[in-house]
Each structure stands twice: as C-alpha cells, then as structure tokens.
Amino acid sequence: MIQLSQPLSELDWIPRPKLTALKRLEIETVEDLLTHYPRRYEDRSEFAGFPRDESETAICICGEVVKTRLVRFGGWKKIFEATLEETNSNALSEPLVLRWFNLHYVQKMIATGQRLVVFGKPRLRGKRLCMEHPEFEVIENDDDISIHFRRITPIYPATEGLPQRVFRGLIYRVLENLALESVTTLLPKNVNLGTREHALHEIHFPTTKEQQVAAREHLVFSEFFAMQMVIGARRSAAASRSGQAHAGGGELLEKFLRGLAFDLTDAQARVIEEVRRDLASTQPMNRLLQGDVGSGKTVVAIAAMLLAVEGGFQTALMAPTQILAEQHYTVLSRWLEPLGVRLALRTAARQEESGALPLFTGDTGRSAPHVIIGTHALLYEGVSFENLGLVVIDEQHKFGVSQRARLTAREPAPDVLVMTATPIPRTLTMTVYGDLDVSVIDEMPSNRGKIVTAVREPAKLPEVLSFMRGQLEAGRQAYIVYPLIDESEKLDVKAAAAEFELWRERLRPFRCDLLHGRIPAPEKQAIMEQFRRGQTSALISTTVIEVGVDVPNATLMLIENAERFGLAQLHQLRGRIGRGAHKSYCILLSEEKSPETVAKLAVLEKTSDGFEVAEADWEMRGPGDLLGTAQSGLPALKLGDLKKDAAIMRQARAAATAVLGADPHLNSPENQRFRELIVEQHGRTFSNVS
Ligand code: ADP
Ligand code: MG
C-alpha cells in the first residue's frame, strides 16, 4: 500500500524521467501528487453528438480518424488535417476536420483508424466544420477507456514533459493503492464534509458533478482551516507571553505634538489612543497599523516610541532600506533631539549616535540611546538592546515573519507595532493578519495637494518635458524612475545609468542626480540629503526610492516603462509625490498597448486611493502571491480562492477559533493531528504549542 507521505521515488513503477519531470514541478511526494489538482473537467461519460454548426462553447466528442493529410502553404508552413467521423455514422452525419498549424508532433501522433477524443470549438471554414488546435487524446486500449474516458475526466494544468494522460494514469494508480489510514482528515469533527480520502478520490475522478463540488469544498475548507489554525496558534502564543506595561505619562508626547507644525488628523489621534492603550497594558501589543502612502504613519510611530521612552524603555524602529532608515534618523533627530531623546542609527553601512544632550525629566541617567533606528542590520549585527520595550517595523510587508520574530521573540515580550501601506485589500486583512490587532488610518492630512496621474506614450515626451520644466521653474522637484539600473540586465529597457546624461541635457540648467542601489551607502545618503534640501531638482532613480521616502516639495514623477511594474508597486512609487500642499503629477510612460497593460495603468489614472488600487489589482491578477505565503509562513493555497471562497474562509475561521478556544494548547488526543500536521509544520516560530 502507498502512504500519503511517501516520496514518489519509492514507487518503483514510476519511470525515472517522469520523476524528474515531476520534481521540476515540485511534486516529490504522494501528497504533492494528489494535491496537484485538476484545472477543469470534461464530462466524457457521454460524448456530445457531432456538431452540425459552429458554436462558441467548446464540446467534447469521440470519433474515428478516417483520413489525414498535410497541406503546405507559404513555403515552409504546414497544416496537418485529420478528418474525424462519428463511430456509428449515418447518412446525416457530417465529418469534422481537425486542423493544426505547424505542429509537427501532432502529425506523428495521429493516424487513420485511431479513435480520438477531442475538445474544442467547432468553426465553419468555407463549407467545412473544423476544430483548430483542439485538445485531443488517442484511445489506445480498454484500460484507457476506464481511466481517461467514460467518466468525468480531470484535466490538469498543462505541463512540459508530462501529458494529461500520464498525470491521470499516475494519480489513478496511486489512488487505487493508497493506504486509507495514511490520509488524515484535517477538519474538526463537527464539520460535516466527509473524509479527506474520499475528497481526494472525488476531486480527481468524480463520480458525479455534485461529488466533485463537495470534494472541492472539503479540500478548500481544509486549506483555509489549516491557515486559520496557524494564525490562531500564533495569536494565542502571542497572547500567552508575559509582557510589561510600557507607557509613560505622556508629557514627552504632549511636548512633541505641541511642537509639530500641523495638527494630527482625527485618524492619527484615534490610532495613537489605540496604541497608548496597548502600551499601558501588560499584555504584549501586536498591532498592525495600516495606512495609505502619505497618510502619516511615522508620526504615530514616534508617538508610540515617545510613550515607551518616557516609560523608561528603549525602542527600535526597523525600516527595509538604508535610504528609509537614514531618512527616519534625520527626521527623528530633528524632532526628538530638542526633547532630549537620544537616537542611534544602525545600518550595515553606517552607525551613528546623537551626541550627549540635556536629558528630559524622568530620564534615569543611562547613556544608552532611547531610540535605535536601523535596517535588517538591527537583526544581525549583534546590536544589543537594553530593556527593549517597543519595536516598530515600518513597511512590514517587506519583511518576513521570521525576521519580525527575531526582533520580537525576547523575554519579557516587547510591544510590537508593524506598519504597512496596505498592499492587500481590506477584505483580506483578517485572513492574512488574523494574528494581529489592526488599526487603520483612513484619512489623509487635509493640507494635501491633489495627485493627477496620466499615461503617455514616449512620443509625447517633448510636451511632457516642457511641462516638467515649467514645474521645476516654479521651484518643484521631480523623480524620474527606471525599472533597472543599467543595461547589463539584458532586457530592452532604457536604464537609469545610461539615460542619466540624456536627462541632464533635457533638464538643463536644473541640477540632476542619479540614485540606484549599487551606489555606495554614504554617497546615496548625500544624494538624498541634497535632494531633500532642494539643492537638486531632479532625481533619476531606480526603485530604491519605492518605500517611505518623504520629500514634500517633490511633486512630479515620471515613470519609464511603467508597464513593467505591478499596480501595487506603481502606487507605492507614486506615493513619493503628493506629500505637500502643491498639486502633484505622475506621468506613466509606456508604449505597450496590450489590453492588460492599458487596463492596469488606467486604474492609476482613475484613483489615488490605495485600497481601491489593491482591490483592482486583486480583481485583475487574482490574489496570486498577495499573501506572500512563503514570507508569511502560512500554508500555501492550492485550491482555495480567497475571493470566490470567502464564505468558506469565514466558516474555517470560526471552526479554528472554536478548536483553539476549547483547547488552546491542542492537548486533547483528537486535536493531536492538527498540532502535528498543521501548527508544527507551519507555525513553529510563533507557536507556544510544544
Ligand atoms: P507614510 O504614512 O507614507 O509613512 P509619512 O509618515 O512619511 O507617511 O508622512 C508623510 C508626510 O506628511 C510627512 O512629511 C509628514 O510630516 C506629514 N504629515 C504627517 N501627519 C500630518 C498631518 N496630520 N498634517 C499634515 N502633514 C502631516
Ligand atoms: Mg512611511
């Protein structure tokens, strides 16, 4: 008998080359193979009659090849034709002509006398009914008939080196010999969706359409349930950690707010209160702060840090890029040093500490920095913290769960605030961030100028240029963004380094600078600083400026080859402008006219709301790796669709909450399977389940 967890290489009847091909698809165990689900099904239990007319729906028919021929045209081009007749043809039957253009191998596979099953749309070509490039299978023997035909037949995602029938044959044989007891049903008892074993049979070789639908529901529920169990386990692990109250009295915060040149938005004030409550509690904070680009998350982070500093704790602020860490260091130094707060910067490239300053009242007199700002270096460079009370992670979607854990998994637990500019739709938040409490800044500061976004062809560059010059003359600044650094990256894309000279010409006499990832860190820092101070008018840059960079006087952004960026990324990039009172302009240069690109770029012309952009992205691309399952440490979804199956997700969430509510440590015998197969596989880092 075959075990579910068995490696396929142990099944000696699978030929080597097939194993290799499977491995390329990351199918290495029996379970991998059985969770390679069909893309669709063909009801071959009864074949359709031969068509009389053309139709828009594809049909599946079975017949006999009565003639084949090769037609040449235009020199080397070939059409291979096979004429198919109904098996019990009568005087009224019309043959169907199957046609393939320039597909040499098809010709080798099809011969007169064979029986074929074909799937495609019948079309009139002249007087003949034809199917062009149909999917087809040759019926070879009676065994074939029972596996591949006379049933609802699974059709697998097309793969190289592994034809449909190989997959079907392998899966059929594995299912026939699968040891029942090796297939654990990963659903709680009160969820009545049958056994996993049954579901696996029915998803691949459904007895009826209804059975297939039920099997899918079982498997989708299982996937979602596993995900929710991991999230739930993380949540309860976090909740059971012992923390400390970290909030000080708030005088320091008051001073900071009084010194600001603007009033907080209502949303900012509300979120600061939410954070203050968490900080004051001894329960460790695990809060996600969501807010569109430019909504003012940094101020909230500072408020949180000041409360913790006044409470006598050290705080850390982690950013994904050196440029952003430097910016935070600059901005925070300006705002906080006058309050007597000592800051330190820790990046791989640079370490700096602010000088001795008069201490604010209540300081214990230690000389360790109160606020440590850094990049990933904070995790690895042996930075030692004294009394770390609060960790803030900016642009958290750029970090993995394990990185987050590295900074926060210490005892006693520090409070954790992670910030993100909503790369995911609102409806998904609970799914993905179910282990966190969520605060949302749903309001932009009122002093913001509008952002106008326009898509232009490169041919329009002269007009674009004169517009840009007008803006620069009015004292504004510009970003010009390229997808790549230099042309060595092969693709036919104009690269920042090569185009820099050209832009200098175009924008003369305004000062331009070039910024990209390979420029040494101190120089990068100097370039940003000059731009921030307005000494440079235009920055020709790669996506190193994608996150966090805040220069309110920069109101112009031109993105070259905009089609090469994803929607979320374009929105992030565009978030660099529209940060001040002036009206801003984002020009997306692209000559690509494919419907997908046109639709994608049109979204940005239509809205500058990050939530709307995220929803549209989801609509167009599907959730894809939105979850970043690899990064989030959650089990992957192979079948479940976060949008279509949202109702199942809600049920799965409720089921997981119930199981963990009744048995938080998963100690009961019947919950062992969840603990072993779900939580331990995926949630180790955060799990208190031991
Ligand atoms: P993000 O949410 O993208 O991180 P930032 O925190 O960088 O946004 O804030 C963007 C800009 O808005 C900064 O220059 C900041 O000083 C400013 N800002 C923040 N809050 C307000 C406010 N309430 N009113 C006006 N400007 C604000
Ligand atoms: Mg920011």
Calculate how far, in angstroms, residue 672's C-alpha sits from the geometric centre of ligand 2. 43
Distance CA 283, CA 572 (A): 33
* Residue at 247: amino acid letter: A
Report d(CA 581, CA 475) in Å as an integer. 13
Distance CA 142, CA 144 (A): 5
Average model confidence (pLDDT) across the chain = 86
What's the confidence (pLDDT) of residue 23?
92
Q: What percent of the chain has pLDDT over 90?
A: 51
Residue 317 has pLDDT above 60, yes or no: yes
CA of 564 to the centre of ligand 1 (A): 29
Determine the distance separating the centroid of ligand 2 and the alpha carbon of 384, expressed in angstroms: 25
In the reported structure, the alpha carbon of residue 601 is separated from the centroid of ligand 2 by a whole-number distance in angstroms of 24
Strand partners, 479: 539, 557
pTM comes to: 0.75
107-148: pLDDT as tens digits: 888 999 998 988 889 999 988 999 999 988 888 776 777 788
Q: Which ligand is nearest to the CA of 294?
A: 1
For residue 422, which ligand has an atom nearest its CA?
1
Instruction: Read off the pLDDT of each residue in 470-492 and give the average, rounded to a whole number.
Output: 76
Ligand 1 atom closest to Cα of 300? 6
Residue 485's pLDDT is 52
Highest mean pLDDT among 40-49, 416-425, 524-533: 524-533
CA of 304 to the centre of ligand 2 (A): 15
Nearest to 21 by CA among 11, 34, 8: 8
Query: Could you tell which of 256, 298, 392, 582 is best to mutate to test the pocket of ligand 1, judged by most ligand atoms within 8 Å of the CB?
Result: 298
Nearest Cα residue to atom 5 of ligand 1: 296
Atom of ligand 1 nearest to the CA of 299: 6
Beta bridge partners of 243: 413
Q: How confident is the model at residue 690 (pLDDT cuts 50, 70, 90)?
A: very low
Measuring from each residue's beta carbon to the nearest atom of ligand 1, which residues come in under 6 Å? 262, 264-265, 268, 291, 293-299, 421, 445, 447, 550, 552, 579
What atom in ligand 1 is closest to the CA of residue 263?
23
Cβ proximity of 649 and 641 under 8 Å: no
Query: Cα of 296 to ligand 1 centre, how many Å?
Result: 3
Task: Give pLDDT tens digits for 541-569.
Answer: 988 888 888 999 999 999 999 998 888 88
Per DSSP (E only), the strands in 86-182 are 96-101, 115-120, 123-125, 128-132, 135-139, 152-155
For 460, residues 6+ apart whose C-beta sits below 8 A from its C-beta are: none
Which ligand is closest to the CA of 575, given by its number?
1
Pocket test for ligand 1, best of 257, 260, 262, 611 (most atoms within 8 A of CB): 262
pLDDT over threshold 80, residue 323: yes
297 alpha carbon – ligand 2 mean position (Å)? 6
User: How remote is the CA of residue 579 from the centroid of ligand 1, in Å?
Assistant: 7
Q: Which atom of ligand 1 is nearest to the CA of 447?
A: 25
Q: Which ligand is nearest to the CA of 394?
A: 2
Which ligand has the shortest distance to the CA of 299? 1
